[in-house]
Amino acid sequence: MNEIAVIIPAYNEELRLLPTLIDVHDFLTKTVSSFEIIVVNDGSSDNTANLVKQFVQTHVNVSLIDNQKNSGKGFAIRQGVLKAQANLILIDDADGSSPITELPKLLASLMTGNDIAIGSRAKPDTSRHVEALTYRKFIGRIYSLIINSLLLPGFYDTQCGFKLYKQEVAKQIFSFSTINGYSFDIETLFLAKQLKYRIDEIAINWHNVEGSKVNIITDSVKMLFETIKIKLKYQCGSYNLKGIIK
């Protein structure tokens, strides 16, 4: 069994994905005994799939799930998580905004007994460096306050795309998750909290990479409604967690 699997969802990422793949592959080759990288192409209309296929031919331990239909980031990550066989599962963004060199911080957290370690761009830490657009940072903080009050109190940043799970934890959580869009982060963290898993939020270095697919206005509104939907589904028992909660 591999030591770690890295799941990278990709939608129209031909301009940003290759440097990330190179960095992740090189870093893991040097630092862990065994690994797998799973790229999930979420129905891209550009050259993303062919780029990954070419990379697979020249690099070991890399595979592609090639979806013909765009179904959402949450859907793509769920596919990758349920396919992964490694002891640990890292979710990483295609743009490389969270440097793979931050992985040891998350690994150290799991070594101390936590089940999930999530990277954070907002948790106070004078040692970290975050390069984010001012207006996105402002809207992100407002959204975090809303999420804290509605569903997930105590988190600074639920949306950073750099999260490390123990395998059995990830598979259980994602088997219950239903959100296919960007709110999957909120849903999976909420489910993790209900299942009593230990979550550690860790300040990491992060930099903005041009080409984001997120519309800060329309997607934030959609995520807000999905957050309310998650709460209502839980209150109605739709997640069917009875008998599983520790």
CATH number of the domain that 198 lies in? 3.90.550.10
Q: How many domains does the chain have?
A: 1
pLDDT bin (cut points 50, 70, 90) of residue 133 is: low
As a three-state string, the secondary structure of the chain is: CCCEEEEEEECCCCCCHHHHHHHHHHHHHHHCCCEEEEEEEECCCCCHHHHHHHHHHHCCCEEEEEECCCCCHHHHHHHHHHHCCCCEEEEECCCCCCCHHHHHHHHHHHHCCCCEEEEECCCCCCCCCEECCHHHHHHHHHHHHHHHHHCCCCCCCCCCCEEEEEHHHHHHHHHHCCCCCCCHHHHHHHHHHHCCCCEEEEECCEECCCCCCCCCCHHHHHHHHHHHHHHHHHHCCCCCCCCCCC
pLDDT bin (cut points 50, 70, 90) of residue 186 is: very high
Within-domain flag for 240: no
pLDDT bin (cut points 50, 70, 90) of residue 135 is: very low
Within-domain flag for 43: yes
Mean pLDDT of 24-29: 98
Within-domain flag for 241: no
Full domain range(s) for residue 55: 4-235
**pTM of the predicted model as reported, rounded to 2 decimal places:** 0.91
Q: What is the pLDDT of residue 216?
A: 60
Mean pLDDT of 175-196: 94
Q: What is the pLDDT of residue 130?
A: 85
Within-domain flag for 117: yes
Give 222 or 206, the one with higher predicted confidence: 206
pLDDT of residue 149 exceeding 60, the answer is yes
pLDDT of residue 27 exceeding 90, the answer is yes
Within-domain flag for 245: no
